């Protein structure tokens, strides 16, 4: 059930105390013997809070030292591109990281003029550098993504430009915790002033090369000639400077909503649980822009590091991310005529099966992987995936000529693609998706949570197809049982069951005593509820 203030302006009593937050970052020292205070890389790097002692200066000192040692062992001699978003802890964390990089004689390129840098621009910069230089570059993005204002995050992107896979993060995480356990004695660090005076910190223009190259992946001319009224809401995040530059370079008919930075994010509307969260896929967090939907032909938002997208149409309001992914895939593979015929469509196993039905109609193979954008990095980098997208509103795709653009999620190009679709077809993505429901059936999709102890979560994560003895799910014969993704064979960390008209996937949470149930039906809302109930019964019997 949603909080009673969900979708409403932030009350003053829920605005964070910024001085206290930053003080806690520098003052509190984590205890590495406490599991929640150790470095832990999830699907999107290490995240935590300063007050909880899970994201403090000691963490950043240790992680940055571990990254410097890792890149030295790998022989990476090029610059490290470092981006930050507008969360309050991101700037202090960058200050800390620069002290360590400079002491380790690692050249770091940071945004000039104290700008913020979206995640996709870091990926873009790494790839552009490595195309022309023999000195290998990599990157760091300091962001907790769409998390509440009090959180911090730290992510490492290797030379392929995408989020690091577990073979990298396991090494960095282990070494960082060793450094914490040894009281930071292995950390090399200058003072902040010494770091800035050193030759190892270089200002860099992330925005201009990215914006000027947009015409290589988006039909900007079609958007401009259409005269579409566009609304862009960076949600107080790092995309603000990018949209300003897009207006300057391309003179689009685009209004920037909330054109300012406020680390308290007090201009937001509260998310479903009453927290401030810059989630551009949430109708509650996006309520302000949705209320303006009739003012624009297409409106869109980004989370704070701009790796996610949210599309708003006049008639439909905020599009379900799964719906937009389906339309984006259909449009791209119909209109990118220079793309090779064999390009595949990347989707996570908890994304809508509408994507599979669209893929079948356009004659393209689906590459289905576990949750996490890292699984698409190689395909985009090597050029055999035309598109990679996940249900949580993150995606990227190739340039017009089939060359790689970014290997991390890019919410900016996904937003501009919505405008291109409207400009070229005369119809917005929501209208096109309505046709899909007529042709392929209506999708009923939801994610719910169920309680589980740590022991039960471990059992769920360790299941094999042979453990499943039942043959039916919600009255339909089970056609597929998966504990590994069909696309790449990687463990999904849970279980997926597929029937003719529905599916369900169950994965344990990495941070809470719950497991997540993703389900979809192409029959009815009641059938979806039956799938959810049946799945919980099956799992309960297996893990109790």
| Cα–Cα distance for residue pair 178/505, rounded to 1 Å | 36
Counting beta carbons within 10 angstroms of the beta carbon of residue 188, is it exposed (0 to 12), middle (13 to 18) or buried (19 or more)? Answer: middle
Per-residue buried b or exposed e for 242-265, using 16+ beta carbons within 10 Å of the residue's own CB: bbbbbbeebebebbbbbeebebbb
Nearest residue to 110 (alpha-carbon basis) of 244, 238, 191, 206: 206
Identify whether the C-beta of residue 336 lies closer than 8 Å to the C-beta of residue 472. no
Cα dihedral 247, 250, 302, 343, rounded to 10, equals: 180
Nearest residue to 49 (alpha-carbon basis) of 154, 153, 140, 184: 153
544: number of Cβ within 10 Å: 8
| Torsion sign, CA atoms 21, 26, 30, 36 | positive
Strand partners, 515: 450, 508
User: Looking at beta carbons, which pairs linking 267-271 to residues 24 or more positions away fall under 8 Å?
Assistant: 267/10, 267/236, 268/10, 268/235, 268/236, 269/7, 269/8, 269/9, 269/10, 270/3, 270/5, 270/6, 270/7, 270/8, 270/9, 270/10, 270/14, 271/6
Nearest residue to 84 (alpha-carbon basis) of 92, 74, 76: 92
Nearest residue to 61 (alpha-carbon basis) of 167, 178, 211: 178
Counting beta carbons within 10 angstroms of the beta carbon of residue 208, is it exposed (0 to 12), middle (13 to 18) or buried (19 or more)? Answer: exposed
| Cα–Cα distance for residue pair 533/474, rounded to 1 Å | 8
Identify whether the C-beta of residue 397 lies closer than 8 Å to the C-beta of residue 412. no
Counting beta carbons within 10 angstroms of the beta carbon of residue 152, is it exposed (0 to 12), middle (13 to 18) or buried (19 or more)? Answer: buried
Q: Judging by DSSP bridges, how do beta strands 385-390 and 394-397 pair with one another? A: antiparallel
User: Tokens 């950390």 identify what position?
Assistant: 187
111: number of Cβ within 10 Å: 22
Nearest residue to 297 (alpha-carbon basis) of 284, 280, 316: 316
Question: Which residues are tagged catalytic?
Answer: 145
C-alpha 495: how far from chain center: 23
List the structure tokens of 462: 């360790």
| Cα–Cα distance for residue pair 432/142, rounded to 1 Å | 37
List the structure tokens of 210: 């990215």
Cβ-Cβ contacts under 8 Å for 225 (sequence gap 6 or more):
423
């Amino acid at each position: 059930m949603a909080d009673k203030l969900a979708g409403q302006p932030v009350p003053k009593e829920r605005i964070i105390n910024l001085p206290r937050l930053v003080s806690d970052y520098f003052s509190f020292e984590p205890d590495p013997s406490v599991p929640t205070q150790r470095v832990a890389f999830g699907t999107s790097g290490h995240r935590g809070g300063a007050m909880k002692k899970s994201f403090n200066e000691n963490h950043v000192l240790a992680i940055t030292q571990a990254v410097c040692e890792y890149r030295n062992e790998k022989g990476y001699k090029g610059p490290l591109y470092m981006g930050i978003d507008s969360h309050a802890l991101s700037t202090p964390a960058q200050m800390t990281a620069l002290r360590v990089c400079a002491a380790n004689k690692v050249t770091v390129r940071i945004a000039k003029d104290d700008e913020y840098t979206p995640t996709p621009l870091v990926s873009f910069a790494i790839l552009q550098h490595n195309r022309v230089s023999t000195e290998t570059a990599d990157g760091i993005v300091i962001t907790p993504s769409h998390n509440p204002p009090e959180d911090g995050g730290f992510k490492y992107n290797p030379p392929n430009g995408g989020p690091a896979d577990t073979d990298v993060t396991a090494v960095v995480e282990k070494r960082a915790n060793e450094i914490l356990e040894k009281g930071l004695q292995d950390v090399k660090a200058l003072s902040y002033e010494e770091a800035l005076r050193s030759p190892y910190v270089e200002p860099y223009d992330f925005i201009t090369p990215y914006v000027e190259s947009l015409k290589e992946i988006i039909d900007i001319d079609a958007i401009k000639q259409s005269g579409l009224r566009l609304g862009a809401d960076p949600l107080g995040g790092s995309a603000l400077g990018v949209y300003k530059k897009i207006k300057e370079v391309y003179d689009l008919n685009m209004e920037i909503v909330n054109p300012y930075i406020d680390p308290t994010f007090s201009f937001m509307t509260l998310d479903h649980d009453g927290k401030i969260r810059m989630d551009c896929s949430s109708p509650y967090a996006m309520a302000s822009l949705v209320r303006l939907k009739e003012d624009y032909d297409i409106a869109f938002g980004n989370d704070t590091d701009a790796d996610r997208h949210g599309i708003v149409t006049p008639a439909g309001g905020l599009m379900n991310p799964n719906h937009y992914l389906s339309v984006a895939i259909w449009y791209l593979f119909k209109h990118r005529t220079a793309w090779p015929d064999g390009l595949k469509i990347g989707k996570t196993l908890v994304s809508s099966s509408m994507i599979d039905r669209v893929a079948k109609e356009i004659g393209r193979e689906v590459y289905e992987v576990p949750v996490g954008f890292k699984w698409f990095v190689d395909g985009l980098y090597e050029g055999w995936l035309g598109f990679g997208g996940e249900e949580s509103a993150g995606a990227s795709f190739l340039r017009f000529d089939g060359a790689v653009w970014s290997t991390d999620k890019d919410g900016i190009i996904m937003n501009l693609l919505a405008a291109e679709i409207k400009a070229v077809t005369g119809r917005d993505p929501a209208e096109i998706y309505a046709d899909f429901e007529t042709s392929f059936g209506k999708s009923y999709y939801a994610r719910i949570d169920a309680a589980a102890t740590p022991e039960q979560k471990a059992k769920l994560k360790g299941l094999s197809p042979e453990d499943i003895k039942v043959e039916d799910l919600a009255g339909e014969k089970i056609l597929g049982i998966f504990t590994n993704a069909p696309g790449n064979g990687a463990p999904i960390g849970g279980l997926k069951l597929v029937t003719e008209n529905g599916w369900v996937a169950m994965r344990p949470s990495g941070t809470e005593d719950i497991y997540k149930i993703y389900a979809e039906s192409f029959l009815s809302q009641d059938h979806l509820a039956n799938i959810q109930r049946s799945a919980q019964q099956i799992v309960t019997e297996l893990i109790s």
